Chain A
Amino acid sequence: MYRRTLLAAAGPLAATLGVLNRASPARAEAPGVTATEIKIGQTQAYSGPASAYGAIGRGLTAFFKRVNDGGGIAGRRINFISVDDGYMPPKAVEQTRRLVEQEGVSFLLNSLGTPSNSAVQKYLNQKKVPQLFVSSGADKWANPKEFPWTIGWQPSYRTEAQIYAKHILQNKPGGKLAVLYQNDDFGKDYVAGLRDVLGDRYDRMLAKAVSYEVTDPTIDSQIVTLQGSGADVLVTAATPKFSAQAIRKIYDLNWKPLHFLTNVSSSVAAVINPAGPERAVGIILGGYVKEVSDPAWENDPGMNEWRAFMKEYMPGADLADANYPFSYGVGGTTVQVLKQCDGDFSRENILKQATNLQTLQLPTLLPGITVSTSSTNYHPIRQLQMHRWNGTRWERFGNVIEGSGD
């Protein structure tokens, strides 16, 4: 009896000791990299309010599976560890520390969300762990002086607004400008971007700028104010719900400005349909990823490649979900960085190559839109092509426009 008790007690004790032992470092040539493997980490919202973005994590996981099936990179397979943070910053901190300290990843890739990435930015920069291609449109990721280990990927909100300003100068130089912006970093990035391009002309062109709070139930009164200012150009720097409200109210007021929406409001399901497709005709916004529904891509080699990938590695996934072409682009960029590393997978070199991309073309990005970085340019994608809602779908028009600034 005594023996059995002892044995029963010994089991958990041994297990505990196993856990307690500090993980002994595997024979690695660089942090997270062995002769056969490269470990990459990501925090993603698989649960919680932003779980729709979980598709990005699943897309990237499938992407790296294909890379491994094709022999990996420099003889190493990619071990992509994507973990859930539920879009909660405290959880993101815990999970990021787990990835860095416990799993020992080489770098973080495309982790989701402005708050989550803000929460770990200081930690990662102190530890000198690359925080690559952050999945957020905030402009703050391009701050190489203070946070050299952090870099974004998609066009920032500020870049987007710069491009809108250029479009306005080209097409309506004498226009009277109205701006409706969400009173937070998201909205203010747009105001800053407009100012970047318009400079002191901003104040001269500006008829009225008003803000709203995310907590506001409606923005009707703001729209009425803006209409009263006599403006004929409107930039609505709003999230989907408010964009839909704006479209509806502007239509009801029979106001017909040249109306710009944000790229995040391009969703037909979340913005256009609630507002009414016929009310949104003529609305403009910038895009950089190929629209799956665009008939122009029916025989496009890039999209064919992507469709073949989806068919083989993500059967059953919703092809209309723009997160998949997005993640395909991020995956392609990462593979290019790792190829450029040329066998030297130290964190320093990975960062060096991530900030040394030259006009990289990706299968799921619009023609003419490329990824370029340098030690001073932390805006990998800084071009957009304008899209106009024609009543049934977004129609591309005009040339690719590049943002300004660095």
Chain B
Amino acid sequence: MRVLRFLAGLLFVAAAAGLAFAVSDYRLFQLTTVAVYAVAILGLALVTGFNGQISLGHGAFYAVGAYVTAILMAHYGVPYWATLPASAAICAALGFLIGLPALRLGGLYLALTTFALAVATPQLLKYHAFEGWTGGVQGLVLDKPDPPPGLPLPLNADQWLYLCTLGVSAVLFLLAANLVRGRIGLAMRAVRDHPLAAEATGIDVALLKTRTFAVSAMVTGVAGSMGAVAVGFVAPDSFTVMLSITLFVGLVVGGVASVAGPVFGGAFIAFLPNIAEDISKAAPGAVYGVVLIAFMFLLPSGVAGGLGRLLRRAARRPA
């Protein structure tokens, strides 16, 4: 089953990579966005889905990742790929630090604390003391990275960026899948399902929670970095509290405790606004809401959960 799953993942990534040569640049840009959102939701899934801590503030880590990349690229001329480790490190550290006090607060209180973080982020980004770096309200404009010369295939900037994003995303998903399946993943779920029992078996609950939060912030931060380059622009208005909520919506729609779920969630939050707007320009928000409610009724455990149920039913049926 494990090998099968790995192969399925590999096949999916290969097919996705093939799309780079089959669809228009605009569609590639959209798919890049889907991959970015998927990774951002993956980060959220680690902490909320597998560790049971509700975070409504992951847009903040996404923003920090985006700004780290933007500042390094715009002010220091660092190449795109080199900003990813920096952004990962900074977001992980930030996640750990914020996790320290925040995670002492359980459940709804943590949700509110992280929500406050998300509310504060755009204003902090506008704060004039950082303006030299962040560009203030104006934001920073980034150059789209060109593909390196001497590639066996001639790629344009959109194709190159898509493939880069896809590659990084695939690695992050693989790492997350391993983490979740292993000993630590088991501990994470134990803490989620029964913290007292987990503590009794010798798990340091507070430390594990904080570390999970750090890893989660790191993953979402890297997504922010990739998103900043894909869009080519960062500004405080890109990272409002709606971003955090949107990520949360994607998480729930995709499937909360699932590694594959964020892919569906990413596609959902990337495409639904367009579909909603096509249906009604007067009230896209209402259409969005109706679709969301319909999803919750039809697929209460998210797309990944629903698919899993279908697969299991198909497997049970005699051939």
A184 lies within 8 A of B136 (CB): yes
B29 close to A87 (CB less than 8 A): no
Q: Which of B72-80, B99-107, B195-203, B233-241 contacts A (4 or more CB under 8 A)?
A: B233-241
**Contact A118/B138 with A47-B284, A47-B285 known, Cβ cut-off 8 Å:** yes
Q: Interface digits, A114-132 against B, CB 8 Å rule (1 contact, 0 not)?
A: 1100110111000000000
Question: CB of B141 within 8 A of chain A?
Answer: yes
Q: Given A90-B238, A214-B123, 15 other A-B contacts at CB below 8 A?
A: A19-B23, A83-B277, A89-B139, A89-B231, A90-B233, A93-B233, A94-B30, A101-B24, A115-B139, A115-B235, A115-B237, A115-B238, A185-B137, A213-B126, A215-B126
Chain A residue contacts of B33, Cβ below 8 A = 90, 94
The answer to whether A183 and B30 touch across the interface, beta carbons within 8 angstroms, is no
A71 at the interface (CB under 8 A from B): no
Of A101, A119, A214, most buried by chain B (CB within 10 Å of CB) is A119
Chain B residues 9 to 42 lying within 8 A of chain A, measured CB to CB, are: 19, 22-27, 29-30, 33
* Chain A: CB-nearest residue to B227: A90
| Pairwise interchain contact A215-B235, C-beta atoms closer than 8 A | no
List, in ascending order, chain A residues with CB within 8 A of B23's CB: 19-20, 22
Q: Is B296 an interface residue (CB 8 A)?
A: no
* A97 contacts the other chain (CB 8 A): yes
B81 on interface, CB distance cutoff 8 Å: no
| Binary contact readout A136-161 vs B (1 if CB under 8 angstroms, 0 otherwise) | 00000000000000000000000000
* Measured CA separation A133–B239 after assembly (Å): 26
Residues of A within 8 Å of B25, CB to CB, are: 97, 101
User: In the complex, which of the residues A58, A86, A115, A213 contacts B127, with contact meaning CB atoms closer than 8 Å?
Assistant: A213
Query: If the complex has contacts A23-B24, A214-B123, are A97 and B136 also in contact, measured as CB distance less than 8 A?
Result: no
Please tell me the number of chain B residues within 8 Å of chain A, measured between CB atoms: 35
Say what secondary structure dominates the interface of chain A: helix
Interface residues of B in 105-123 (CB under 8 A from A): 123
A254 to chain B, nearest CB (A): 32
Question: Which residue from B29, B139, B240 sits with its C-beta under 8 Å from A97?
Answer: B29
Distance (whole angstroms) from the CB of A222 to the closest CB of chain B:
14
Chain A residues, Cβ within 8 Å of B285: 47
What's the least CB distance linking B109 to chain A, in Å? 24
Q: Is A102 an interface residue (CB 8 A)?
A: yes
- CB contacts (< 8 Å) of A22 on chain B: these are 23-24
B167 within 8 A of A: no
* Closest CB pairs A-B (n = 7): A119-B233, A101-B26, A115-B237, A184-B137, A90-B231, A215-B123, A84-B277
Chain A residues whose CB sits within 8 angstroms of the CB of B233 once the complex forms = 89-90, 93, 118-119
Binding site for A on B (CB under 8 A): 19, 22-27, 29-30, 33, 123, 126-128, 136-139, 141, 227, 231-233, 235, 237-238, 240, 242, 273-274, 277, 281-282, 284-285
Enumerate A17-72 residues with CB–CB distance to B below 8 Å: 19-20, 22-23, 46-49, 58
Complex Cα spacing A87 to B139, Å: 14
A57, closest chain B residue (CB)? B281
| Contact call A118/B139, Cβ cutoff below 8 A | yes
A91 within 8 Å of B (CB atoms): yes
CA distance A93 to B232 in the complex (A): 9
Contacts of A46 in B (CB 8 A): 277, 281-282, 284
Bound Cα distance A23, B232 (Å) = 25
Q: How far, in angstroms, from A102 to B278 measured CA to CA in the complex? A: 15
Give the residue of B24, B235, B240 whose beta carbon is less than 8 angstroms from that of A102. B24
Show 7 A/B contacts (Cβ-Cβ < 8 Å), sorted by A. A20-B22, A46-B282, A88-B240, A89-B231, A90-B233, A90-B238, A185-B138
Report Cα–Cα, A88/B231, bound state, in Å: 11
A19 to B285, CA, bound (A): 26
Q: How far is the CA of A123 from the CA of B123 in the complex (A)?
A: 27
- The answer to whether A89 touches B136, judged by C-beta atoms less than 8 angstroms apart, is no
Chain B residue with the shortest CB-CB distance to A61: B281
- Closest A residue by C-beta to B140: A118
A98 within 8 A of B: yes
Complex-state Cα separation, A49 to B19, whole angstroms: 35
Known contacts A84-B281, A91-B273: does B26 contact A97 (CB below 8 Å)? yes
Shortest beta-carbon distance, B283 to chain A, in Å? Answer: 8
CA distance A228 to B25 in the complex (A): 59
**Residue of B whose beta carbon sits closest to that of A44:** B281
Which one of A49, A93, A185, A213 contacts B240 once the chains associate, using CB atoms below 8 Å?
A49
Interface pair A88/B126, CB less than 8 Å apart: no
Shortest beta-carbon distance from A80 to chain B in Å = 12
Interfacial chain A residues near B123, Cβ < 8 Å: 214-215
Picked from B128, B235, B284, the residue with its CB within 8 Å of the CB of A119 is B235
Interface residues of A in 65-113 (CB under 8 A from B): 82-84, 86-91, 93-94, 97-98, 101-102
Residue of A nearest to B23 (CB): A20
- Nearest CB of B to A111, in Å: 14
Question: What's the nearest-Cβ distance from chain B to residue A24, in Å?
Answer: 11
Complex CA–CA separation, A82 to B278 (angstroms)? 11
**In the assembled complex, how far is the CB of residue B76 from the closest CB belonging to chain A, in whole angstroms?**
20
Closest to A93 in B: B231
The distance from the CB of A53 to the nearest CB of chain B, in whole angstroms, is 14
Which residues of A have CB within 8 Å of B138? 118, 184-185
Rounded to whole Å, the gap between the CB of B243 and the closest CB of chain A is 8
Q: Which residues of B contact A58 (CB under 8 A)?
A: 281
For B232, B233, B242, the residue with the greatest tally of chain A CB atoms inside 10 Å of its CB is B233
Complex contacts, B24 vs chain A, CB 8 Å:
22-23, 101-102
